[in-house]
Homo-oligomer: A and B are copies of this chain.
Amino acid sequence: MLKKLSKRVELDAGDHAAVLGLPYRLKLYHPTSYIVREGAPPPLACGFIASGVAFRQKLTADGTRQIVSIHLPGDFIDIEHLFLNLGDHNVQALSEVQAVNVDRNALQKVILERPAIARAMWIDALVNGSIFREWIVNVGRRDARSKIAHLLCETALRMEEAGLIESVATFEFPLTQEQLADAVGLTNVHVNRTLRTLVADGVLTRNRRHIAITDWDKLKSAADFNGLYLHFDQESRIVS
CB within 8 Å of B: which residues of A? 38-39, 56, 58, 60-62, 64-66, 68-69, 79-86, 88-89, 111-113, 115, 118-119, 122-123, 125-130, 132-137, 139-142, 146, 184-185, 224, 228-229, 231, 233-234
Contact = CB atoms under 8 A, between A and B. Distances in A.
Contacts of A66: 136-137, 140-141
Given A39-B228, A119-B112, A84 B126 contact: yes
A6 B141 CA distance: 37
Contacts of A136: 66, 68, 132, 135-136, 139
A133 B88 contact: yes
A81 B60 CA distance: 31
Contacts of A86: 228, 231, 233
Contact of A123 (B83, B111, B132, B142): B83
Q: Oligomeric state, in number of copies?
A: 2
B83 A130 contact: no
A81 B140 contact: no
B112 A58 contact: no
A78 B132 CA distance: 16
Given A68-B136, A85-B234, A141-B66, A130 B80 contact: yes
A60 B126 contact: no
A89 B134 CA distance: 9
Nearest to A224: B61
Contact of A229 (B62, B82, B88, B139): B88
A50 B234 CA distance: 31
Given A58-B133, A118-B118, A126 B82 contact: yes
Contact of A133 (B56, B79, B126, B140): B56
Contacts of A69: 133
Contacts of A132: 129, 132-133, 136
Contacts of A128: 129
Contact of A141 (B65, B89, B119, B141): B65
Given A39-B228, A81-B126, A231-B84, A139 B139 contact: yes
